Amino acid sequence: MTREFGCTAWGKAWLRRLEPLASGGPDPDRVRARGLARRAVREFRVQGTQVSAVLGERGREHVITLTVPPWTPDEIRTARRRLRSTAGPSGTLPEDLPDELAAELEAAGPRIAPDPGELTASTPSGPPRRAHLLAVCYALVQRVDEEPALAVRLRMAGAQDVPTPPAPTSPSLIPLAELDPRLFYDPPPPG
């Protein structure tokens, strides 16, 4: 049976920060957040260290943006050393990372996920409600489960020489957006 949240070690690392063992009894915000993550989170996007999503609840839409704090330069160096064996020949990181690597990485220092309190969270009208913030975090846990390398990218964004998955475009492709309709039928200029 696959766990709904945290079925990989990488997603679980995030989940542990959301649900620390020492947190005591049931937390109504967390229960609500899980339900919202299941049915109310849309347009989930990750850009650099920013995670954004639209949360629709009771007929209202909330645009929520989280900023994940990056690792320190020391932590990035440690992480890069640990990841070297997994990265491809050109330093690219595969989408999936072994679960053992997550344990190794945390043992060596860098924490895969920050505490929710370390996240900078905002909506256009000010700070989000806690349940909404947690809902986006739960959705992020699922996204990390789908693509464990995302957990690493979120913490290394901004650093130089980041091992990333291969770029979606290869040099033999041109995005349609870069084509000029006025020059479509004309041969390229010489040279």
Partner 1 sequence: MSPAPQWTYLQDRACWFLWFPDGGTPAPPAPGLPSTRATTTLAVPDGDTVAPREVEGAEVPLLAGWDWLGTRRAAPGDSGSLAGWTLLARDPTRSANPLPVAAHCAPTPDGEHVRTAAATLDEVLGVLALLRDLRNHGFAGSLRGYQLAGVRWLAGRERGALLADDMGLGKTVQALALMANHPGEAHLVVCPTSVTPNWRREAARYTPDLRVLRDGEEPRPGTLTVVSYARLRRTPHPFTGCRWGIVVCDEAQQVKNPRTLAHRAVAGLDARYRLVMTGTPVENDLGDLWALVHLATPGFLGTRRRFHDRYVVPIQHRGSPSAAARLASRTREFVLRRTKAEVAPELPARQTVDVPCPLSEEQRQLYQTALDETFTDGLGTGRGRRASVLALLTRLKQICNHPAQALGQRGPLAERSGKFDRLGEMLDETLRSGTGCLVFTQYTSMGRLLVEHLGQRGVTVPFLHGGLSSDARDRIASSFQGGRGPGVLVLSLRAAGFGLTLTRASTVIHYDHWWNPAVEDQASDRAHRIGQVRPVTIYTLRTAGTLEDHIATIHDRKRGLADAITAGEEAELLALSDDQLRDVLALRPGAAP
Q: Is 184 helix (H, G, I), strand (E, B) or coil?
A: coil
Which class for 33: exposed (0-12), middle (13-18), buried (19 or more C-beta within 10 A)?
buried
Q: Which stretch binds partner 1 (CB under 8 A): 25-33, 80-88, 104-112, 176-184?
A: 176-184
Could you say which of 2, 85, 125, 160 contacts partner 1 (CB under 8 A)?
Answer: 2
As measured in angstroms, the least distance from the Cβ of 141 to partner 1 is: 12
Q: Does residue number 47 form part of the binding site for partner 1 (CB under 8 A)?
A: no
Our finding on whether 49 is near partner 1 (CB under 8 A) is no
Residues near partner 1 (CB under 8 A), total: 33
- Identity of the residue, 75 or 145, whose beta carbon is nearer to partner 1 in the bound complex: 145
Least CB distance from residue 185 to partner 1, whole Å? 5
Sketch the per residue contact string, 16 through 45, with partner 1: x for CB under 8 A, - otherwise.
----------------------x-----x-
**Cα angle 20, 2, 144; round to 5:** 60
H/E run at residue 9: helix 9-18
Q: Pick between residue 25 and residue 175 the one whose CB is nearest to partner 1.
A: 175
Rounded Cα distance, 69 and 148, in Å = 18
Q: How far apart are CA 147 and CA 103, in angstroms?
A: 17
| Residue 188 touches partner 1, criterion: CB under 8 A | yes
Q: Is 167 in the site for partner 1 (CB under 8 A)?
A: no
- Quick one: DSSP state of residue 42? E
Per-residue buried b or exposed e for 94-117, using 16+ beta carbons within 10 Å of the residue's own CB: eeebeeebbeebbeeebebbbebe
**60 makes contact with partner 1 (CB under 8 A):** no
Binding mask 94-123 for partner 1 (x = CB under 8 A): -xx---------------------------
CA 178 to chain centre: 28
Of the candidates 103, 133, 135, 102, which has an alpha carbon nearest to the alpha carbon of residue 118?
A: 133
List of residues contacting partner 1 (CB under 8 A): 2, 7-8, 38, 44, 95-96, 142-143, 145-147, 168-169, 171-177, 179-188, 190-191
